[in-house]
Structure 1
Amino acid sequence: MIRLGFITGLILSVSMVFAQQRPHYSQYLQNMSVINPAVTGLNKGIDLRLGFRNQWQGLKDAPKTSYVTVSMPVSFGGDMANYRSSDLGVTEPTNKDDMYDYTASMSHHAFGVSFLNDKTGPLNRVAANLTYAYHLAVGDRTNVSVGVGVGTSRLGLNSSVLVFEEDGDPTVGGGGEINKYVPDLNAGIYFYGPTFYVGASMQQIIKNSLAFDGDFNVGKEVAHYFITVGNQFWINNDFSVTPSVMFKVVNPLPKAFDLNLKFSYNNKLWIGGGYRKDDAFFGTFGFNVANIVGLGYTYDYTTSNLNTVSTGSHELTLRVLF
């Protein structure tokens, strides 16, 4: 008889090989809050962002990820009670002249929520987090923020698609969906100004057991560490280029990195590309309308051995700023 714990451990081991305990994002630049809660409430107003990623298309049961994040800066108590909403959060410069007029946000609190659905084969993670960040003004043009995300994840296993040596295996009963709820904790720091950002974050601080069978105690979550750095250079008043890099450490996997290059016209239209170590080259383009609505698309060309069975990955993002 094959134990459910063994099946689950095998699936999770395969997931770890492809670093899929937490999803890949090629468009994390369009929504940094998916990897760093310190970005919560960075922009003025209510910031709504949605994303969907179809990874390794053509490969059966490959990961599919969707998310929604909402955040806003707030003022309450003490001196903050007298702040105007326009003093809280920053507005991304649209051209070089705007960059010179850029001012740091007043120090403020920020709150947000995030929802994630990540499905790989019979495994499905649904996570909900409340996020909080405090943005501190350090000088006239820079801010530093610290943030935390607290919530819960539901880990689901669709045992009805698993094949056992014996029908009616007692570890799965009648089959169907088996769920496990675990706490989720993330934290980060973010330093930013009119043209640059430097961030560091940690996801899955709580290393929960991932076993669905109480007799199997090997599988567990591992911490994910991210470092992000980028700087925007203005070629002239309207055109800019932004190189950036993201480092990711997930033990015991090899250290990984993304290299990105983005060309932008008035921050209203952009095109770019990048490389993810031992995984993919990717190209991206998108546009903003009146700095209120933004849409982005990315295609990943797989460079690993999976390119024999996969036609690549697709990712869409949508932003609405109220």
Structure 2
Amino acid sequence: MRKLVVFIALKLMLFTAFAQQRPHYSQYVQNMSVLNPAVTGIYKGRDLRFGLRTQWQGLENAPKTSYVSFSMPISFGGDMANYRSSDLGVTEPVDKDDMFDYSGSMAHHSIGALFINDKAGPLNRMTGNLTYAYHLAVGERSNLSVGVGLGVNRLGLDAQSLVFDEPDDPVTASSGQINKFTPDLNAGIYFYSATFYIGASMQQIIKNKLAFDGSFNTGKEVPHYFLTAGYQFWMGNNFSLTPSVMLKAVSPLPKAFDLNVKFAYRNNFWVGGGYRKNDAFFGNVGFNVANIVGVSYAYDYTTSELRTASSGSHEIALRLLF
């Protein structure tokens, strides 16, 4: 019976091996760190963010994703020894006048952490990364950063939640939680200023085997490649429009993309929406309070065949900037 549990786990993992292994996000623009470690420590101060996504409402055991991220610029040694961490990083322009006064950050180091929990049915994946980025000044108004994230994945299988022909089998009942620990490595690059950003990143650089038992090792993780870009247009002094795009490549799946647009008032209140290829349309709304607290919500309307059984997906994000 133990081999049967492992065999079922393998089938589940082989299914994910030919699909998106990392979770979807409709609000990654609000927290790019879930895609790219190079954004670590972009902003002045200590940046703490939380997110929760419940996908495909109405489907039993549908994916649920939560995350916590933290980052901050740091100063140590050399020319940076005379600066405080609060002197480093950039501040988002609130209006067009602020944009003209915007200046890029001095070159600096930054550190952070990212924790993600992604559960779908009997499978639960937890990822913890420590992140580092170095931000290089490019002229007076832009920066180029490179970053890495290194950590551990825990892929767990809840064997007790699996359904067998003999539900009272004592071997099955005692199987419990089966865990697999693997290393995780991500890397990225990010070029940004007051009005635009463009970034590229790679997740799951290490192609770990997806197996709970040494006898079954044909499944594996595959690298995920992301390319993101956006540009902010100002309409008068207080209103702005920011279209953006994300391109995603996960072999052997076809290339995918997200299209987004954000309409904001003084960067304090915004509404927006987007389209994820072959998956969903989504809309979002959010607000900032004194550039310290930010709250946003997104709703996905499913366009795939799952729409007949799902009422959509919900996602909420919270930001605290100290």
TM-score (norm 1): 0.96
Matches within 5 A, 1:117-128: 117-128=117-128
Q: Contact 2:72–2:110 at 8 Å: present in 1 too?
A: yes
Distance 1:87 1:45 in 2: 8
Q: Residue in 1 aligned with 2:289?
A: 289
Deviation at 1:8, TM superposition (A): 1.6
**How many residues are treated as equivalent by the alignment?**
320
Deviation at 1:41, TM superposition (A): 0.3
One-letter amino acid of the structure 2 residue matched with residue 139 of structure 1: G
Seen in structure 2, the aligned counterparts of structure 1 residues 14 and 169 have a Cα distance that, compared at 3 Å, is farther
Q: Residue in 1 aligned with 2:95?
A: 95
Q: Contact 2:126–2:155 at 8 Å: present in 1 too?
A: yes
Deviation at 1:3, TM superposition (A): 2.8
Deviation at 1:86, TM superposition (A): 3.9
Q: Is structure 2 residue 17 aligned with structure 1 residue 12?
A: no
Q: Contact 1:230–1:243 at 8 Å: present in 2 too?
A: yes
Deviation at 1:87, TM superposition (A): 2.9
Query: Which structure 2 residue ranges, 5 or more long, are not aligned?
Result: none
Distance 1:141 1:105 in 2: 8
Q: Is structure 2 residue 263 aligned with structure 1 residue 263?
A: yes
Deviation at 1:168, TM superposition (A): 5.1
Q: Contact 1:4–1:213 at 8 Å: present in 2 too?
A: no
Identity %: 68
Deviation at 1:18, TM superposition (A): 4.7
Distance 1:237 1:137 in 2: 27
Q: For each residue in 1:157-179, what CA deviation from the matched residue of structure 2 results, as whole angstroms up to 9, or x when unmatched?
A: 00011134567597x68211011
Deviation at 1:12, TM superposition (A): 2.1
Q: For each residue in 1:99-141, what CA deviation from the matched residue of structure 2 results, as whole angstroms up to 9, or x when unmatched?
A: 0000000000000011111000000011111000000001000
Deviation at 1:16, TM superposition (A): 4.4
Tell me whether 136-145 or 214-223 shows the greater mean CA deviation. 214-223
Seen in structure 2, the aligned counterparts of structure 1 residues 99 and 143 have a Cα distance that, compared at 3 Å, is same
Distance 1:240 1:48 in 2: 25
Distance 1:263 1:176 in 2: 49
Q: Residue in 1 aligned with 2:223?
A: 223
Query: Which structure 1 residue ranges, 5 or more long, are not aligned?
Result: none
One-letter amino acid of the structure 2 residue matched with residue 10 of structure 1: K
One-letter amino acid of the structure 2 residue matched with residue 11 of structure 1: L
Q: For each residue in 1:201-242, what CA deviation from the matched residue of structure 2 results, as whole angstroms up to 9, or x when unmatched?
A: 000001111111221111111100000000000011000000
Q: Residue in 1 aligned with 2:279?
A: 279
Distance 2:68 2:316 in 1: 12
